[in-house]
Each structure stands twice: as C-alpha cells, then as structure tokens.
Chains A and B, each alone.
Chain A
Amino acid sequence: MDALITMRQAGFYRDNRWLVQDIDLDLREGEVVTLIGPNGSGKSTTAKLALGILKPDAGKIVRRHDLKVGYVPQKLSIDWTMPLTVARFLDLTGKVNQTDKISAIHETDISQLLKKNVQSLSGGEFQRVLLARSIARKPNLLVLDEPVQGVDFKGEVELYELISSIRDILSCGILMISHDLHVVMAKTDRVLCLNNHICCSGTPKSVIETKQYRDLFGDRANNILAVYEHNHDHQHLPDGRVLHEDGTITKTCHHNNKNRRKVMKDAR
C-alpha cells in the first residue's frame, strides 16, 4: 500500500520567513510518527500541511486518495453562543456509525459526559471527548496535536496508553505532536525532531530505567513512557537559538547533522 501521506521538501512561508522548510515525511497505516520540538518549531504547521489545511509554498505533499482523517487540533475553543452537547459534538463533521460511536465512548470513558455542554468540560475531559470524536470516525489517519494538553500527570499516562491501543484497534497511521522532549510514547515508530526543519529523526530508544520514573508512573507506565535518546551535535535553546557541540551559538542549526541523513536513509 502507498503511504497515507508523503511529504517531500515541503515548506511553508509566511511573513518573510520559512515557518517550516525541507520537511520529508512518510506515514503508513499502522505507523506512529511523533513530532517533537520546542515552541514555535513548526510542529502544528507541519501537521496542518500534512492535512491540507495549509498549502505548501515549496515541495510536494501527496495524500492517499482514500484518506479518512481524524483530527485533534491543538486549539479549539467553542463559543458559548453554540448550544452543543458532547453527544452532538461526536457527529460534528459527519454522522458516525452508532456502534463505532459507542465503542469510542467506551474506550475514552466519556459516557457520563454525553449530555454536558462541551463548553463546561474540564481540559482533560475535553481532550478525551476530542479523541473520542476523532476515533469514532474510524479514520485511517489520526492526527493528534498535543493530545494530552491540560491533562494531569496520571491522566496523561492513561491517554498515551489509550492512544497506543487505538493504533492496534484501528490499525491507522498516527501523526502525533508533543512539545515534551522526555515523554514520548514507547510505541512510537519514529520521532521527528523539528526546529523549522527536521533536525533529526529515528526510533525512540529504551524505556527509562531510573527508579524515580518507576515511582512516579508505576510499573505499567514504564511500558508507555519512554525517552527518545539520540545524539544531537547541537541543542536547541529555549529562545530558539542553537548551541553547538563546540560551544558556538547560531540562529539555526545547519543541515550538517550526520544523524539525520543516516536515519533518513534507514527510513527509506
């Protein structure tokens, strides 16, 4: 089967600068790809390009013709002027099959929320509702933009666990965004580290073994939470500048990252 989404040297240009540049990405069914990176590194922009919400100013993006998307956007504020219950919200972009809806409600544990107004939900409840809506559609591509935002630590673990089970249930491709460098799903197949371009990418490595993590999340959580370990020859500072191994600081990291080329070759 063809990839669900193929991006080649895709770039997006706004206000005299490239928000993202040179993005190569292949996403297949049953595959989980996670985008990580600091704020403003173009994670959401990349996801929106992949979804076709934004049109690329450079490069090429091909979406498979039978693509069925479930999308959990990063920001969604619903105006109080709209009377909208959770039950109605599940059918937002098209009526979904009743059995699919019931199983999605069950998996995300939102049955007690159905009659509530979406505006009155807590952050964590709303994220679960968003997730329920996107999986009830039975998508073959799930795009999750910061799916655990506003969720406490325990809920975060549960949500990540849920997401990794969704992949098995729906056998869909998942493109996930996280701003958290340390907490990436163990079942992520590939991680793309973004800072306006792909700094590096590869498979996430071994679960953290330290006692502190096990204490924090419990044994089960250890299977879910992992750290993506890899060698950068540079690191990104909070202000967006780049600190190189030799101690120099520059505005962007240059494309001399051996890691990246090697990984890209592996991916093909």
Chain B
Amino acid sequence: MLDDFFIRAMLAGIGVALIAGPFGCFIVWRRLSYFGDTLSHGALLGVAFAFFFSFNIVLSVFIVSALIAMSLLWLQKQSNLSADALLGLLSHSSLALGLVVLALMGSRLDLQGLLFGDILAVSKIDILIIYSGAFFGLFILYYIWHALFAATVSHDLAEAEGLRPEFHQIIFTFLLAGLIAVAMKIVGILLITALLIIPAASARNLAQSPEKMAILAALLGGLSVIGGLFSSLNWDTPSGPSIVVVALIVFILSLLPFSYFRGKR
C-alpha cells in the first residue's frame, strides 16, 4: 500500500503537520512568523550548498537554517538595526544568494518544486526521516514545553524563578531549523510558514489552554493536509498550495461559529 504515491504523500504531509502544529503555536505566541520565513528562505541557500558539495539536502538545509538563526541572535546583540530589519536582510539575501549559487552551477533544478513543494514525489525514506524527525522533535518539545512556555509569557519571570529561557530558546530554534529542513520537501519553501502559522491561528480561536491549542493545531494541520491532497487529486491543483488553501478555509471556519459561543471579548 505504501507503494501508492498518494498514500505516501498523505503520510508525509500528516507527519509534518503533526509537528508543525505545536511549533506553530510558539511561532504565533512569540511573534516569530517573519523569523520562520527567514529560515525557510535560507533553506534555498541550503539546497544550493547541497548541490555544490553533493551533500544530503535535508542536512544541508538544516545546517544553513541553524546558522542563519544563530547569526540573527548574534547580530541582534551586536548591531543597532531592529530585529525586523535584520530579518529582512537575512531573509532576502539568503534567498538571493541561493538563487545565484544555483544559477552559477548551471543547475537545472526544479525551482517550482523547491518553492511550492513536491509532496507527490515523497519516497519511503522520506517518510522514515519525517516520522523519526517528528518523533524526536516532539519528544524534545514535550520535555522543554513548560519552561519554553513560561519564557514565552515572560523572559524575566522565567529567568528570575530559576528557568533558563535563553537555553530553551536556542533549542527551540534548532528544532525549528530541523522542521523546516524536513517540511521543505512537503509544502515548499514559500509555504512552510503558512503550515506553521495558519493551523495554530485556527486553534487559537478554539482552544482554552496552551496545551490544547498545540494539540488542536496539529490536528487541524493534519486535516488541512488530507483535505488539500484530496482536492489536489480531484481538481488537479498543485498539492502544496492546495493544502494551504484548505488550512485557510479551516481558519475561516474557526472564526465563524465558535467565537460566538465562547463570549470572548
């Protein structure tokens, strides 16, 4: 059954969505959506390096994303520019650099696939990578969840009461870089942030606790993948964007009936 490309795509997409949900919650809470964008743009540079050194793509993307994240943390301490401007600088220059390097190598790479994902070409090995990565990432996140959430509410409070917010933030950043390396193949560079943020935003409209929001984001992400792939099959639309469109529809639905009953301000 795993030979069927559609089933493989489904499994891979759900795997990525399950881990993207909880991580997406932190991206929403910490206002990191542009940061996620920057890391995913940097992924293209990672792909370029992978071709240049004939190196594993996932590993190369992870390394480049992690390096970009670390240089951002470093630049924030050194420079007078705002985090926002630094992100723009890193984001677009790494994207441009990646494109230039790829062109110089004369690579006739499927750019469309990189940008929008190629979920229908997922192999069994990819699924193995995704699920072991997701298991590892969720395990670590579960372990640091409480401390990371406390640090998200208040860095000072966490630090004062004996947690290590900086340390947990670095771990989170590395895991995010890893997630992007894995997810790139599924929804593509341009749509990773969407898969991170939209299910989390939908979950925010329905959940009453941070933990429930994380679980709900994972489930809604999985739902979006299933819906997106089926509609892609039905109407012959590109799979990555279809997933995001379904996620958007889920978000709009989450706005409509439920907020009416909850009496939220």
Contacts and interface: CB of A to CB of B under 8 A. Distances in A.
Interface in B146-179: 146-147, 149-150, 152-154, 156-163
Contact of B150 (A48, A51, A70, A93): A93
Nearest to A68: B162
Interface string B101-119: 0000000000000000000
B156 A73 contact: yes
Contacts of A78: 153
B161 A70 contact: yes
B20 to A, nearest CB: 17
B213 A51 contact: no
Q: Is the interface of B mostly helix, strand, loop or mixed?
A: helix
Given A81-B28, A83-B208, A69 B152 contact: no
Interface residues of B, number: 27
Contact of B160 (A51, A94, A117): A51
A91 B149 CA distance: 11
Contacts, number: 72
Nearest to B264: A117
A137 B161 contact: yes
Given A81-B28, A83-B204, A92-B150, A71 B209 contact: no
A84 interface: yes
Interface residues of A, number: 28
A26 B28 CA distance: 42
A215 interface: no
A1 interface: no
B161 A71 contact: yes
A92 B157 CA distance: 9
Contact of B212 (A69, A71, A83): A83
Contacts of A76: 153-154, 157
Given A81-B29, A83-B208, A120-B265, A53 B160 contact: yes
